[in-house]
Amino acid sequence: MNRTLENIYNLSPAVFQNACVSLYGLKLYFREYGKKFHRLLDKFEKMQWYSYEDLKEYQDKKLIGLVKHCYENVPYYRKVMDKNSIKPSDIQTVDDLHKFPVLTRKDIKNNFSSLIAKNYRRSELTIGHTSGTTGSPLEFLYDRRICLVKNVTDWRQKRWAGINPGDKIAFFLGRVVVPITRKKPPFWRSNWIMNHKFFSSFHLSGENIDTYIEELERFKPAALEGYPSTVYIIARFLLSRNKTLPLKAAFTSSETLYPQQREAIEKAFECELFDFYGLAERVIFATECAAHEGHHLNMDFGITEVVDKDDQPVNRGELGRIIATGLHNFGMPLIRYKTGDITALKPDKCSCGRNFPLMEDVTTKAEDIITTYDGRLISSSILTHPFKPMHNIAESQIIQEDLKNIRIKIVRLPKYSEEDTRYLTSELGKRLGGDMEIHVEYVDSIPRTKAGKFRWVISKVPLEF
Ligand SMILES: [Zn+2]
């Protein structure tokens, strides 16, 4: 939405805003849920049961086509390929992909227009952007095919959870659907066409949360989708009132999902949680199935590599950085894009029978990892343990300033006492080591990122790998 339209939207009554959301839904419906969508969903439903060899063959074929297209139509890649003496015929399988240099965020910023394929009209492409949690927002363009493929991959996972297009879904995402200045409910807007209701993630407060719950009870969604931290707030609130709100499934994405969040969400909504990992860059999409043994790397979406600091592949089970190549966005192709996220590939196959490899459950942003004074790397999920018994904390955040200093921001509940601080610092100290100083700070609230995301751990110490 452009600024003027956004202003008009914000000043309009709720009924007009609902109509806007529904009209937008109608546009999306025709564009993204038409015949093409159903045809591709059928194809992707079949592909998920392909043998590993057949999936590799699909990737090889797609990659050959992509590289040929890049050489012929994308000025940036013509230059890169000439410079590195790569001919399209040099790329025959996924194993040849390493001949390409990695593509960084900086490369995209500096070469934006030469990354756009010449045989696409600008009007055929839509703009996407990252929230820039790492401090620098980034834009790119999508063609229609990738929008469709993303949608199909998303719905394929929803069907793993028993949710189908047309089912009622409540969303708690980063988009501002209700003006921030609004003080009274409704804090939600409806897309009548799709049966979706978008709840504002920015108005959740002790005062308002009851009205959210009432609306959810009235709407009776089959599923709920949102950032783990937001869905967790609602779950904790329900549980504190000894209430539940039964759903068929809950979906989370976009932030690290911590074990205690999963536990509370599954309990409060009496359903299984299906996490997924995708990037706005649309080069990777990893989805959890009903076996919950990790996140399936959808091989029909893109090619994923996990590498060390020299961009060499790490062994299965070892942590490394994710490099990904999207197979469908020919409008602005990204080959070997360095994501900045960290994961490990699981050695075992999923018991569900699908041959998509499994990625670790917790995929972490590099800046979510604490480096201790003695050089150990502590994943943020490990630090959740000391917080488990802390019932007097509404919210917290861990900030590593440097190798020696950790700041803990705490939003206290009324029963919080100094005893809690003592317990917390001692338990964290056991994990971080005695050389690190832990400073506790009491705050009224913890700011979200621009995209409304919550970051529990922020480390300012650069990672060594
Ligand atoms: Zn599975």
Listed in sequence order, the DSSP H helices in 84-227 are 105-110, 144-160, 209-219
CB within 8 Å of 259: residues ≥ 6 apart: 381, 384
Whether residues 235 and 341 fall in one domain:
yes
What are the distances in angstroms from CA 127 to CA 139, 165, 268?
7, 25, 37
Read off the pLDDT of each residue in 204-216 and give the average, rounded to a whole number. Answer: 87
Residue ranges making up the domain that contains 412: 369-459
Please tell me the distance between residue 350's alpha carbon and the centre of ligand 1 in angstroms.
Answer: 5
Instruction: Find the range with the poorest average confidence among 244-248, 298-302, 378-382.
Output: 378-382
pLDDT at 162 over 80: yes
Single out the residue of 298, 313, 342 nearest to residue 59, CA to CA: 298
Average pLDDT, the chain: 89
Please tell me the distance between residue 358's alpha carbon and the centre of ligand 1 in angstroms.
Answer: 8
Which residue carries 């529990």 as its tokens? 456
Choosing from 318, 335, 366, the residue where a domain stops is 366
- 6 within some domain: no
pLDDT bucket at 1, cuts 50 / 70 / 90: low
pLDDT for res 134: 46
Residue count of the chain: 465
The string of pLDDT tens digits covering residues 416-444 is 999 999 999 998 988 888 889 999 999 99
Please tell me the distance between residue 82's alpha carbon and the centre of ligand 1 in angstroms.
Answer: 41
- 3-state class (DSSP) for residue 361: coil
The string of pLDDT tens digits covering residues 305-347 is 999 988 999 999 888 999 999 999 999 999 999 988 888 999 9
Please tell me the distance between residue 362's alpha carbon and the centre of ligand 1 in angstroms.
Answer: 16
Choosing from 366, 389, 422, the residue where a domain stops is 366
User: What is the percentage of the chain residues whose pLDDT exceeds 90?
Assistant: 59
- We report the CATH number of the domain holding residue 381 as 3.30.300.30
* Interior/surface letters 201-228, b for 16+ CB within 10 angstroms, e for the rest: bbbbeeeebeebbebbeeeebbbbbbbb
pLDDT for res 375: 76
pLDDT for res 465: 61
Q: List, as ranges, residues with CB under 5 A of the ion ligand 1.
A: 289, 291, 350, 352
Structure tokens at 113: 């227009």
* Interior/surface letters 138-154, b for 16+ CB within 10 angstroms, e for the rest: bebbbbbebbbbbbbbb
Cα separation, 172 vs 169, whole angstroms: 10
Answer for the pair 420, 393: CB distance below 8 angstroms, yes or no. Answer: yes
What are the distances in angstroms from CA 85 to CA 78, 110, 312, 365?
10, 22, 20, 34
H or E element that contains 234: helix 228-240
Which residue carries 């005893």 as its tokens? 419
CB within 8 Å of 128: residues ≥ 6 apart: 139, 140, 141, 142, 280, 281, 282
Whether residues 42 and 127 fall in one domain:
yes
- 207 within some domain: no
Please tell me the distance between residue 401's alpha carbon and the centre of ligand 1 in angstroms.
Answer: 39
Please tell me the distance between residue 214's alpha carbon and the centre of ligand 1 in angstroms.
Answer: 35
Whether residues 323 and 387 fall in one domain:
no
Whether residues 375 and 362 fall in one domain:
no
Please tell me the distance between residue 197's alpha carbon and the centre of ligand 1 in angstroms.
Answer: 29
Please tell me the distance between residue 169's alpha carbon and the centre of ligand 1 in angstroms.
Answer: 23
Single out the residue of 179, 175, 181 nearest to residue 198, CA to CA: 175
Read off the pLDDT of each residue in 268-292 and give the average, rounded to a whole number. Answer: 96
Whether residues 338 and 434 fall in one domain:
no
Please tell me the distance between residue 142's alpha carbon and the centre of ligand 1 in angstroms.
Answer: 29
pLDDT at 395 over 50: yes
Pick the more confident residue, 22 or 215.
215
- We report the CATH number of the domain holding residue 112 as 3.40.50.12780
pLDDT at 133 over 50: no
pLDDT for res 379: 72
Instruction: Find the range with the poorest average confidence among 10-19, 112-121, 156-165, 423-432.
Output: 10-19
Choosing from 334, 366, 398, the residue where a domain stops is 366
Instruction: Find the range with the poorest average confidence among 2-16, 28-42, 204-218.
Output: 2-16
User: What is the percentage of the chain residues whose pLDDT exceeds 70?
Assistant: 93
- 25 within some domain: no
Please tell me the distance between residue 150's alpha carbon and the centre of ligand 1 in angstroms.
Answer: 19
pLDDT bucket at 192, cuts 50 / 70 / 90: confident
Dihedral angle sign, alpha carbons of residues 159, 161, 167, 173 = negative
pLDDT at 142 over 60: yes
The string of pLDDT tens digits covering residues 65-95 is 999 999 999 999 999 999 999 999 999 999 9
Answer for the pair 324, 286: CB distance below 8 angstroms, yes or no. Answer: no
pLDDT bucket at 462, cuts 50 / 70 / 90: confident
- 3-state class (DSSP) for residue 37: helix
Whether residues 163 and 268 fall in one domain:
yes
Residue 83 exposed, middle or buried by CB count within 10 Å (0-12, 13-18, 19+) = exposed
pLDDT for res 198: 93
Whether residues 59 and 152 fall in one domain:
yes
Pick the more confident residue, 464 or 372.
372
Whether residues 354 and 406 fall in one domain:
no
Whether residues 353 and 437 fall in one domain:
no
- 89 within some domain: yes
Number of domains into which the chain is organized: 2
Please tell me the distance between residue 299's alpha carbon and the centre of ligand 1 in angstroms.
Answer: 13
pLDDT at 368 over 80: no
Single out the residue of 195, 193, 177 nearest to residue 24, CA to CA: 193
pLDDT at 126 over 60: yes
Read off the pLDDT of each residue in 43-54 and give the average, rounded to a whole number. Answer: 98
